[in-house]
Structure 1
Amino acid sequence: MYYKKYCLLLGLAALVSPVYADILVILPESGTMARASQSIKRGFLSAYTASGSKEKIIFVDSEKNSIDSIFKKKLTAKTRLVVGSLARPEIEKVIELDPKIPVLALNDVNTQSANVWQYSLAKQDDAVALNRLLKKDGVKKLLVLRQTGTESATALFFVALMAEFGSDIEMVNQLPKKLSRKEGALLLGDHQWMEQLGPLPEKNIYATPLSIEQGQFIPLGLSFCDVPALYNGQWADLIEAYKKQPETMAFQRLLAFGGDAWTISQQFLEQTGQVQFSFVGRTGAIELKDRKIYRQPYCYRQQKNSIEILK
């Protein structure tokens, strides 16, 4: 029943919109970001359906409508919340407009605004989570082996990690056969590259989600921090969305992101006054405090027969 309702809702969302919206969702549904936007939208609608909410939603394509035009023509006195946009320049424009109702931006920018809340899958969050794990494991020096050609994919994460971990990071061309007790090794590359490295140390070896692929071998002892919804089955809405259209892990993360965007939206709709909340989300532990939304990914370690969650 839930699955049929979700499919019907997804189809209707593409064809018709209500006369007014309680929630206005701004996404680039065409253009270069359309593929990512589709997964976010599916995750958002799946979580919305599972929640049983009756709030009316309108989706607007930011590739075909300017932010000025959307806010002028689509917002009404009944609009309670805006979700989006995804592109940073558009979020900057929203901040310039100084909206009077809450806006949940789906990316992060340097500028802050009282009514624009920023939620993202920021590499900074991944770096903070991994640095916390490195400290817990007693790693004092980090050796970094990087796959040639993937620098742009890991650049933001690496810069953020350097800021968190400190100066004792060394780039290497190959890993030593054995790490000292206080050394750790970080692999920055994709899964195929990691497989070609051969035997790895079984302790204090780390990677990013770029190295993890669904159904593929993970070296024993490898630790990484990622979106928790990919590693447990507690989110029925995501399972149904995935059944409708199987995704790679990169797009599964966006499904989870869209689902948490709906859960955060619910908090804004249900609370009045000074909004505060925290919950265990699909993308990590989510908390709103000091007028900011924080996300803490979960960290995992491959054991002999399973993936262990690291508390």
Structure 2
Amino acid sequence: MTQLGVMGLATQYQRNSVTRLLCTLVLSSILMACATGIQRAPSAAPPPAPDMFSAVDRPADQYQSLAEQASDADAFNWRVLAVRAYLQQGDTRTPAPLLDALRRDAASPQQQQAVAILDAASTLAANQTEGVQQQLAAVDRAILPRPALAYYLSLSAELLERRQQPIEATLALIERHALLGGKEQESNREHIHKLLAAQSSLALRRAQNAGNSDEANAWFSLMAILNNQRLQPGQQQWQLQSWSHINPSHPGQVYLPPLTGLVGSEAYQPAHIAVLLPLSGRLAEQADAIRNGILSAHQGQSSRLSFFDTNGRDMNSLYQQVQQAGADFIVGPLLKEEVSALIELGPVIPVLALNTPPYQPGMAHFYYFSLSPEAEAAEAARHMWSMGHRQPLVFAPGTDLGRRIATEFNDSWQQQSGKPAILAYFAGQSSIESDVRRALASTSSPPPAAAGVIQPLGEGGWTGAPEPIDSVFMVTNATETRYILPYFDFVRDSRAARLPTYVTSRSHVPTGEAPMSELNGLQLADMPWIFDGAPQLREQVEELWPNAGLTWQRLFSFGYDALTVIPQLAELRGGAGTVPALTGELSVSGQGVLQRRLQWMEYRDGEWLPGG
């Protein structure tokens, strides 16, 4: 090749190299220009934070990442969710720094309570149960939103379950149930059922009491029936039908086996009635009066009566004896504690108990009948409302009995009127005038609750009597009534008519005693039997027991009605109205409690005459 040719090739190579270099430089310039002229799109903002105690549905690191990107307000919620997620995954170490940060940042009361709940959750997750109870107790439940309260109750239940307290754990879960929805509620219900299914029927019956919610007592009642291995299939069906009828919307309905038919409303026609009374001991005289009433009512009947002495007897062994005797109905026992003991046994025999215990489980075959002064006070409240009174004053002794009766009146009054009565308590004869003055001046704010001062009850606090006092219910015996009633006339304007005043059987003054004009106009409620009801029966009683006093006669009529009403119990419970009886017009509540409508009479110059 010639020298000229070589030089041409070199020149061409150089040109190509320069071209490639220029292209590279141009392309670099273009890319640099693009880089400086076009901005990078920002990353997407995190979604708004949900409630701190909403359901955990993501891994913990995702919550933590969202917390790092969020604003301060939302970051707190995301960190709470991250801590909960770590604990749910069984990791108690990783969330420690997050918890420290939450403690520093917690500003509002709700955030501070959230940290307190997480502290308890972290301690529980680390199996350090000793301090959890104190941590939970420090939480102010009153300000917790629904999701936080649901989480709090879940922790409480878990702690109680670990402490081998399944009944208490279910109480927490039952309270939690209404705060949940959907699958969470279904899971919570299954947890309740699992815990209770492992308990004995006796333990579940003992767990029922007036301090529980209706829903909790219904859970315990249902599971006591389902867990009772001694029940025959027919007996279990009957009791479950009863439970279902009383609790139609209860969450436990899903655990009922198929039920055939409805709760029977046919009349009880027992062939053998067992009567449980304290026929010996300190109450033998009272029991004898009831026994005589039962025997008198039983005349001409074909059923068999058997009397069992409850004095000093264990209720379990006594109930077994009743079953062995072949009884198919029980009347009694008489004492509250005996009735509660019989309830614990879950009797499969229908029962008409002769007292009303603090808690009355709703069972279709169990009834409660009593002559309690509290029940008479409730009847007085219903009657006074029907008479058009709207602001009664209750004047009662500052004793336990006086306060119980006054409270029962007030409860019944609120059911009628939706507002509380005015309650005033007196201390004794020495201060009665000042006590009456305070009571009648009770339209102002009340002083502290004590004997001799006003103690209004009811929700919402005291705002003063919305209406002037228009009637008085006195919780007094006959002696107290005679002494106190004139003071109400003395303290008020003597020209004003006496406030309509009502009392119950404790204030009964027998007809025939010397007239007491100061009692004129007094309205008294008592059983019709006392006011010469059933004259033919009274003639027989006076012939057989000529020296019987008022107390004996009341107990006699109590026993008489207890036996007479048995065939009508189921019909009355179904809403059949009332039936006339010696102790009053009888009706039965849905819980099986017999209620008496008393006869109201007015005192006039030594006689009791039909009143309003």
Query: What's the counterpart of residue 228 of structure 1?
Result: 528
1:206 to 502, 523, 531: 502
CA contact (8 A) 1:130 1:299 kept: no
- Share of identical aligned residues, percent? 22
Gap change, CA 1:169 and 1:242, over 3 Å in 2: farther
More divergent stretch after superposition (109-118 vs 163-172): 163-172
Greater percentage in helix:
2
2:552 to 251, 271, 274: 251
| SS at 1:290 equivalent | coil
Query: What's the counterpart of residue 293 of structure 2?
Result: 43
State the Cα distance separating 1:61 from its structure 2 match: 0.5
State the number of aligned residues.
283
Gap change, CA 1:101 and 1:107, over 3 Å in 2: same
Greater percentage in strand:
1
CA contact (8 A) 1:301 1:307 kept: yes
State the Cα distance separating 1:28 from its structure 2 match: 0.7
Question: Is 1:111 matched with 2:398?
Answer: no
C-alpha separation in 2, matches of 1:91 and 1:60: 14
C-alpha separation in 2, matches of 1:97 and 1:236: 41
CA contact (8 A) 2:396 2:403 kept: no
State the Cα distance separating 1:123 from its structure 2 match: 3.3
State the Cα distance separating 1:308 from its structure 2 match: 3.7
Question: Is 1:23 matched with 2:273?
Answer: yes
For residues 68-114 of structure 1, the C-alpha deviation after alignment (integer angstroms, 9 at most, x for no partner) is 22222232474221111011222122222222221111111213134
For residues 28-67 of structure 1, the C-alpha deviation after alignment (integer angstroms, 9 at most, x for no partner) is 1122322221111111111222xx1122111110014322
Pairwise CA RMSD: 3.1
Query: What's the counterpart of residue 169 of structure 1?
Result: 422
2:310 to 37, 62, 79: 62
Query: What's the counterpart of residue 482 of structure 2?
Result: 195
**After superposition, where does 1:1-311 map in structure 2 within 5 Å?**
22-49=272-299, 52-76=300-324, 78-109=326-357, 110-112=359-361, 113-146=363-396, 151-165=399-413, 166-171=419-424, 173-174=432-433, 175=436, 182-197=469-484, 199=486, 200=489, 202-215=498-511, 216=513, 217=515, 219-234=519-534, 236-245=536-545, 246-267=547-568, 278-288=578-588, 290=590, 292-302=592-602, 304=604, 306-310=607-611
For residues 256-300 of structure 1, the C-alpha deviation after alignment (integer angstroms, 9 at most, x for no partner) is 1111101123446xx89x977641111111123535143223242
Gap change, CA 1:236 and 1:140, over 3 Å in 2: same
Gap change, CA 1:84 and 1:131, over 3 Å in 2: same
Gap change, CA 1:32 and 1:302, over 3 Å in 2: same
Partner AA of 2:366 in structure 1: V
C-alpha separation in 1, matches of 2:585 and 2:481: 29
For residues 128-166 of structure 1, the C-alpha deviation after alignment (integer angstroms, 9 at most, x for no partner) is 221122223333333344457xx3443332110122234
C-alpha separation in 1, matches of 2:475 and 2:590: 33
C-alpha separation in 2, matches of 1:79 and 1:108: 22
Partner AA of 2:505 in structure 1: P
C-alpha separation in 1, matches of 2:558 and 2:471: 30
TM-score normalised according to structure 1 size: 0.78
Instruction: Point out the structure with max Rg over C-alpha.
Output: 2
CA contact (8 A) 1:83 1:105 kept: yes
Structure 2 residues not aligned, in runs of 5+: 1-270, 414-418, 427-431, 442-466, 490-496
Gap change, CA 1:97 and 1:147, over 3 Å in 2: closer
State the Cα distance separating 1:310 from its structure 2 match: 4.8
TM-score normalised according to structure 2 size: 0.42
Structure 1 residues not aligned, in runs of 5+: 1-20
Partner AA of 2:376 in structure 1: D
State the Cα distance separating 1:194 from its structure 2 match: 2.5
CA contact (8 A) 2:377 2:504 kept: no
C-alpha separation in 2, matches of 1:170 and 1:78: 50
More divergent stretch after superposition (83-92 vs 210-219): 210-219
